Structure 1
């Protein structure tokens, strides 16, 4: 009976062991949020208008909360400190944003519904990424404490 090889190819090991891989992966996960927070912070009227567009009132309060989450969450994840908190913040934010902005179940059939459905499930994938980031960080913390 043939057995499957149980270890990664060398090039995969090299990539996973490279000292910058974890940071770059975390940056890829949170980069859009970090950029979004910076853009909103530098264009406050547009940030408020975006919240009003989605029916969030008072729009200025929701814009400020969105900016805080989009900046603090990524900083926590990138710093490796309180990753669970940053991942939780962004995960809950992403779920609420997906339900608010991509309510495909309330749309008639057609291209707009198709696009909203895809965006909704892409957001669920991001939430899974945040859970995995928190799990990886917790696993690393437990190994350090042991």
Structure 2
């Protein structure tokens, strides 16, 4: 790998930026749901998700808190898992392509496949956050612990 690329990939700020970007669809949707809560309630009702207000609030909490955990990095695994379960649940609840016909089925199938890809991206974000913490622990904390012991 060229050293300039390695330097970018090793950069802590770049890792955080990429975790912000990969979670953008979630935290942006959560903020939009807050900004227009009446539209959020209508969306929940459109998909027969009841009670609409409870599910809307749970969705907002999931999208924003899960994103924050991934971005922060300390509990990225939890945020990524939370968002992945949420994302996978939308497939049978909202994007059940097998229930549609023709072009509509194809559109929903593409969304479902994209959702699966997003879950992989979330998993990679959790891996990246874990590696950053592991390297930090090995290069920063381990020498400090050794010095304190010895």
TM-score (norm 2): 0.84
- SS of the aligned residue for 1:20 comes to helix
1:101 aligns with 2:94: yes
Offset at residue 145 of structure 1 (A): 3.8
Alignment root-mean-square deviation, CA:
1.5
Offset at residue 132 of structure 1 (A): 1.4
Which residue does the alignment assign to 2:112? 120
Which residue does the alignment assign to 1:3? none
| C-alpha distance in structure 1 between counterparts of 2:124 and 2:12, whole Å | 19
Shift in alpha-carbon separation, 1:11–1:143, aligned structure 2, 3 A: closer
Gapped runs of 5+ residues in structure 1? Answer: 1-7
TM-score (norm 1): 0.86
Instruction: Report the structure, 1 or 2, having the larger helix content.
Output: 2
Shift in alpha-carbon separation, 1:141–1:20, aligned structure 2, 3 A: closer
Gapped runs of 5+ residues in structure 2? Answer: 139-150
Pick 1 or 2: higher relative contact order, CA cutoff 8 A, min separation 6: 2
Offset at residue 19 of structure 1 (A): 4.1
Aligned residue pairs total 138
